[in-house]
Structure 1
């Protein structure tokens, strides 16, 4: 039971957890994220890479395939951003209290979207500069996937943050694994920059999830469990031949989203000093869902 000013508070309800955190909590999380990513640390597609040296001839066929794959995933940013706008709308139909919460989160969302869009532009530029793809053909290929709506099978904010936490960490880990086997300096530097961004995006989602756990305790368990029970990486249901492609790039560098689960467990344990039986059962369930190494 939560105690506020010496008075026992009612147990959190599903309705509580189905909403965003209070605006002050979101503001603190956003401020921490912004402080960790000042403009001086962000990279510039036009000026930070020696594009004249990009050479896909130094990549194996599997590495080329991996670059094409991650470009498709990153370039779907308009679909991801639209999902956040559906979850957290900012229009005249929104209750003022919810608008305030949504507006605080929007400060993060637009920065996150800008950084993810930079990822897409860097990978597009690499494919063209290195000779891996022709620009017009690549634009059409990206448009074929980009036109498809991105949806997720849940509707609560805490579920969305849990999903994004896992997805961002899994992506970060894959970029690090791919970087380790790449012998092409321009692509290696791109992957370094992308993995750093994904690590910070993960940290924001971890901060938000910890705040939910601290505030709502066991009421957060079911939404987290539901995400893990039904987890699929972005575009797994839309890219033609996704699973064959995913297996192929995993042969080039380890690619398994369940590698992110141990990081989710750490977030839960960090937030909960004295875990209840339900929280313990949740961490055991997440651990059991990890693929064997």
Structure 2
């Protein structure tokens, strides 16, 4: 059914079910595009197996120590956060499958997305253990605690909120992986995370194109959902043990902070969708559009202040060193 078909009801009357049906054709088209451009790759090819050796424990190997890691300190912190985010995949799959369904093009996409994200967790864990990049005991304890708590994202209001959230979240994840690789200090790690970031970018494009179609079908409620997600955005790993402290170290290290969030995540998606330029909106859409503009201006001001504080702190550290 083409977008704009007279069969479609006005956007104000749309339920989640009718919107899922209306977007099914878009999902099918985007799924075909994704399968056509996604490249097969093997996790084991990105792991330095020759660096591996037994850990202490039942095999009587060597205990982990920080000096064994080739990865920078901020790289280790970020790698743990990124892996724990990927590890909670069963909870994410449950959330998205419950909302989008398991049948038809939607179901095919959900399962494909889950399989690709699972590959990311496999290669990251294998790399971390083979290269002794992080403390394996701490990593496993964090994993158990994080997965035991499960995941429930902040925007369960509607299909539109969920589509908007994953469009921004997939880009945020891609940026975090890419920057972690650059800051890691290990070329093997950077190569692996660049490969993962390529997948995350394809996932972002899928959801971003889906969100563009939703804006065409239901501009006012879609804009409201985008406003809600942008203003209250949190990464899916926010509930993991020690997340706030880890996020602060990642922010100072330049991996993910207010400037990165504004410039590399929110702004590119909003500009691509021309969210702040859309016309023909009703009262709700106009209000959401205005509030988005105000929020983005305020976020940029906060990013400027953060950049200044970060530069001053780093300068003091260099002086002490």
**TM-score, length basis structure 2:** 0.76
Query: Displacement, 1:137?
Result: 6.0
Partner of 1:12: 11
Structure showing greater Rg: 2
Say if 2:39 is the partner of 1:34.
no
Partner of 1:111: 112
Q: 1:8 to 1:44 in 2, by over 3 A?
A: closer
Q: 1:126 to 1:195 in 2, by over 3 A?
A: same
Q: Compare relative contact order (CA 8 Å, sep 6+) and give the higher one, 1 or 2.
A: 1
Partner of 1:161: 163
Using the alignment, how far apart are the partners of 2:292 and 2:135 within structure 1?
46
Measured against aligned partners, the alpha-carbon deviations of 1:241-288 in whole angstroms (never above 9, x if no partner) come to 311110112222330334411022123218976464727425514523
Say if 2:261 is the partner of 1:260.
no
Paired residues, number = 275
Partner of 1:125: 126
The 8 Å contact of residues 213 and 271 in structure 1, kept in 2 or not, is answered as no
Measured against aligned partners, the alpha-carbon deviations of 1:180-234 in whole angstroms (never above 9, x if no partner) come to 2332121111111111111111000101000001122223121221112222111
Q: Classify the secondary structure of the residue corresponding to 2:237.
A: coil
Higher helix share: 2
Partner of 1:74: 86
- RMSD (Å), alpha carbons: 2.9
Using the alignment, how far apart are the partners of 2:246 and 2:153 within structure 1?
21
The 8 Å contact of residues 17 and 216 in structure 1, kept in 2 or not, is answered as no
Return 267-276 or 137-146, whichever deviates more: 267-276
Return 45-54 or 273-282, whichever deviates more: 273-282
Give the 5 Å matches for 1:126-275: 126-133=127-134, 138-153=139-154, 154-236=156-238, 238-256=239-257, 257-258=261-262, 259-269=264-274, 274=279
Residue segments in structure 1 that go unaligned for 5+ positions in a row: 91-101
Q: 1:43 to 1:285 in 2, by over 3 A?
A: farther
Partner of 1:99: none
Q: 1:271 to 1:10 in 2, by over 3 A?
A: farther
Q: 1:82 to 1:17 in 2, by over 3 A?
A: closer
Using the alignment, how far apart are the partners of 2:298 and 2:160 within structure 1?
20
Measured against aligned partners, the alpha-carbon deviations of 1:107-141 in whole angstroms (never above 9, x if no partner) come to 11111111111111111111110113465664443
Partner of 1:288: 297
